[in-house]
Amino acid sequence: MRRSLLLLIIVSLFVSVSSALEKEGFRPPTTLVASNPSNKKDTILFPGETHFANIRQLTFGGDNAEAYVSFDNKWLIFQKTNPKEGIICDQIWMGKIPQHPEDKFEPKLVSTGEGRTTCAYFFPDGKHILYGSTHLGSKDCPPVPDRTKYGNKYIWPIYESFDIFKADLNGKIVKQLTHSKGYDAEATISPKGDKILFTSMRDGDLDLYTMDLNGNHVKRITNTLGYDGGAWFSPDGKKIIWRASRPTTEAEIKEYKELLAENLVAPTHMEVWIANSDGTEAHQITFLEQANWAPNFTPDGEHIIFCSNHEYKRGFPFNMYLADLNGKGIEKISRDKGFDAFPMFSPDGKKIIFCSNRNNGGTRDTNIFIADWVK
């Protein structure tokens, strides 16, 4: 969700921070992802990445992102696009995490194969998953916006046909969890196993909501104008963290409302926010400008990890950073010259999973990597 078209490392097309962002995970379309000619030697571990040990690449080819771990630490679920394999629109895949060097990572399709899907996550029972999908609107991939109508500004579609579904581990949908008109996606589940946290446009703006695991008792928990999304619970379930884009000037507000009326959004920049799990005491914790997103909590609940391009005036690379819960003490933990994002820890705190353009042979591929987490 974090959350679901693919990452953008733009050289010639990057004209603003918003042109590096797409969809739930702000992962721009594969066709726009530029290779990194400055990174002549491919590697899966760069000097200075001291928090990663025994790193391993799990996917090879295509656009793989938003990879999340099951509550029992054994399975990985993610979304994938790879036209070479006939996967022209993001679909959800699941595979067992290799325990030994000789073990293969062999994921299987667990979404319908229709429409566009995004933001999958495991239920605490270990028997079900959830994800957002447009397949009820159409079996085809939804069309991308014609940016020439908006001065070639980078814009992101908010597909009205996105709803959230519950499925078993074989991909059989057992329940539709949202039914409201408008975008519903970017869902995660509390470690306490009692609430789903998601983004919706049901009340006219892109806000955060919670609901029970069966889809009942929906409650809106953010109310400030602007996009709120990619939200996560803390390990104890007491707090949430998310990315937000806040239009403030008259011109920004006008543009935001006009685009939203057409189910589009063009965030100028994003910052990281934290609140209690019910949305109270919400406050911004990064003030870095540009794009600060894909935040999550560290396993101890005392720090955050997020993705940012704030060090680079040209808008890239994107790297991952650690900070305390006030956004202070920032430490850069990844060093790829292109794109590192979507960090997630295994529930037991032993592993970190992230997505990167590293070791892609100069292609546009984004792959999934897993490593032992070194504090």
Could you give the maximum distance between any two Cα atoms of the chain, in Å? 58
366 SS3 class: strand
**Residue for token digits 């794109």?**
339
Q: List, for residues 69-88, the tens digit of each pLDDT value.
A: 999 999 999 999 999 999 99
Identify the band that residue 315 occupies on the pLDDT scale cut at 50, 70 and 90: confident
Higher per-residue pLDDT: 342 or 316: 342
pLDDT of residue 155: 85
- How buried is 200 (Cβ within 10 angstroms: 0-12 exposed, 13-18 middle, 19+ buried)? buried
Calculate what percentage of the chain has a pLDDT beyond 70: 89
Identify the band that residue 8 occupies on the pLDDT scale cut at 50, 70 and 90: very low
- How buried is 220 (Cβ within 10 angstroms: 0-12 exposed, 13-18 middle, 19+ buried)? middle
Q: Strand 63-69's sheet: what is its strand order? A: 63-69, 75-82, 87-96, 108-109
pLDDT average, residue stretch 256-268: 89
User: Could you write out the DSSP letters of every residue in 138-189?
Assistant: -SSPPPPP-GGGGTT---EE--TT-EEEEEETTS-EEEE---SSS-EEEEEE
Q: Tokens at residue 314, please?
A: 């040209």
pLDDT average, residue stretch 116-126: 97
75 SS3 class: strand
Name residues whose C-beta falls within 8 Å of residue 365's C-beta, 6 or more positions apart in sequence. Answer: 60, 61, 62, 63, 357
Q: List, for residues 183-238, the tens digit of each pLDDT value.
A: 999 999 999 999 999 999 999 999 999 999 999 999 999 999 999 999 999 999 99
What are the backbone angles phi and psi of residue 98, rounded to the nearest 5°?
-60, 135
Identify the band that residue 268 occupies on the pLDDT scale cut at 50, 70 and 90: low
pTM, whole model, 2 decimals? Answer: 0.90
Higher per-residue pLDDT: 6 or 124: 124
pLDDT of residue 147: 86
pLDDT average, residue stretch 346-355: 97
Question: Is it the case that residue 370 has pLDDT exceeding 50?
Answer: yes
pLDDT of residue 349: 96
Question: Is it the case that residue 323 has pLDDT exceeding 90?
Answer: yes
pLDDT of residue 162: 98
Closest by CA to 270, choosing from 231, 322, 214, 223, is 231
Closest by CA to 363, choosing from 64, 87, 29, 62, is 62
Distances (CA, A) of 134 to 73, 78, 165, 185, 259: 29, 17, 10, 10, 20
pLDDT of residue 151: 85
Question: Is it the case that residue 5 has pLDDT exceeding 70?
Answer: no
* Tally of CA atoms within 13 A in the half-sphere of 223 that contains its CB: 7
pLDDT of residue 70: 98
pLDDT average, residue stretch 108-129: 97
Q: How is the chain split into domains, by residue range?
A: 17-373
pLDDT of residue 7: 39
Q: List, for residues 135-165, the tens digit of each pLDDT value.
A: 999 999 999 999 888 888 778 899 999 999 9
Least confident of 115-129, 256-270, 288-302: 256-270
**Residue for token digits 């699941």?**
94
Q: List, for residues 211-226, the tens digit of each pLDDT value.
A: 999 999 999 999 999 9
Q: List, for residues 10-68, the tens digit of each pLDDT value.
A: 332 333 333 334 434 444 333 233 334 344 468 999 999 999 999 999 999 999 999 99
pLDDT of residue 13: 31
Q: Which CATH class, in words, describes the domain spanning 17-373?
A: mainly beta
